[in-house]
Amino acid sequence: MANLITIERHILEQQKNFPNATGELSQLLSDVAFAAKLVRREVIRAGLVDILGTTGATNIQGEQVKKLDEFANERFIQGIGHHGRFCVMASEENEGIIETPGDTVGKYVLLFDPLDGSSNIDANVSVGSIFSIFKRKSKLGRGTLQDCLQRGMEQVAAGYVIYGSSVMLVYTTGQGVHGFTLDPTVGEFLLSHPYITVPKRGQLYSINEGYYRYFYDGIKKYIKYLQQEDKATGRPYSGRYIGSLVADFHRNLLYGGIFIYPRSRKNPDGKLRLMYEANPVAFICEQAGGRATDGYKRILELEPEGLHQRTPLFIGSDEDVRIAEEFEQGLRQLEHDKELIPKMEAEVEKIPSY
């Protein structure tokens, strides 16, 4: 039993390395863990109670709001906001910033996607919550939009919860990546994956190949590259795509490989949101020794312009992401493959360079 380390204890131990730490950050992460437990309680019984299906409303993204989306959003806002440790919050489900309920105003900023992958909920596919924490920039009073619109490299903490075969919370405060598994018998997240590191290269790739015809030339060639046979580089890779970022990212974090949601003719800026999807997973990925870019620039260096701005996302094993970038940027061509190239070249439509 001695090594049963709860998330609260782990965070406090991590903070011993920061002499001026106030313990507030550990409280924030405990608040997030608590909200996740409330969400998990509904996720695991969603099929039993009238919480599946849609509310009939559409959110800022123009997507149908699932009842569980709305429930999860409320849990995060109520379960965390009232502790007074945040000065402002922002959610995938809300168009503007969210004033923290209650009178006390803290020094932190929370951005979150309360239930990512919600289109999969009714099919019992793993979904997740993603969060990103900054320190406020403004000095006093309630937080502002500018407090939210900080570059990813300014994050003080980030993490996600995956509601899958087991419920895991994975977080970083810049001192490595640590995974906790919920023990439902005691209702605690217990340390199960200390210092997660992503393999330098993997053999899995995650991309929605249903959009192949909309992809630009570089990504089409990269997919063909991964499908070529080359034992030295472990090719062909296996395709794995769940359509739930947290589930796809979590698998690649542990096993290695690459997840790509690229720019395309269908999604010129990609689909994923910078502030509460790409930034947090990019912070985690880099802390685990991986790489996260938009195909050209580090995600954590991108200058935010709006709460809900989209970005292409190339994330996972360092070597895999770098090779994908070379194809995306037109710097790399397919080695000649007598069967594949002629067929592929016939397929690839000539398009103006990006």
Question: What residue ranges bind ligand P6P (CB under 6 A)?
Answer: 116-117, 119, 208, 243-245, 248, 271
Name the token pair of 272.
């994923």
Burial group, residue 23, by CB count within 10 angstroms (0-12, 13-18, 19+): exposed
Quick one: 26 or 244, whose CB is closer to ligand P6P?
A: 244
**Shortest CB 309 distance to ligand P6P, Å:** 14
Quick one: 15 or 91, whose CB is closer to ligand P6P?
A: 91
**Shortest CB 290 distance to ligand P6P, Å:** 17
Q: What's at 338, amino acid-wise?
A: K
Quick one: 182 or 245, whose CB is closer to ligand P6P?
A: 245
b (16+ CB within 10 A) / e for 168-195: bbbbbbeeebbbbebeeeeebbbbeeee
Quick one: 117 or 179, whose CB is closer to ligand P6P?
A: 117
The answer to whether 73 and 94 are in contact (CB under 8 A) is: yes
**Shortest CB 207 distance to ligand P6P, Å:** 8
Quick one: 34 or 211, whose CB is closer to ligand P6P?
A: 211
**Shortest CB 181 distance to ligand P6P, Å:** 21
d(CA 299, CA 245): 16
* Nearest CA among 143, 179, 145, 146 for reference residue 162: 179
Quick one: 29 or 245, whose CB is closer to ligand P6P?
A: 245
**Shortest CB 270 distance to ligand P6P, Å:** 10
Name the token pair of 200.
């330098």
> Which residues contact residue 116 at a Cβ distance below 8 angstroms, ignoring those fewer than 6 apart?
92, 127, 128, 129, 130, 160, 244, 245, 246, 277
DSSP, collapsed to helix, strand or coil, labels residue 297 as: coil
> Which residues contact residue 137 at a Cβ distance below 8 angstroms, ignoring those fewer than 6 apart?
146, 147, 150
Quick one: 7 or 282, whose CB is closer to ligand P6P?
A: 282
**Shortest CB 117 distance to ligand P6P, Å:** 4
Half-sphere CA count of 158, side-chain side, radius 13 A: 27
**Shortest CB 116 distance to ligand P6P, Å:** 5
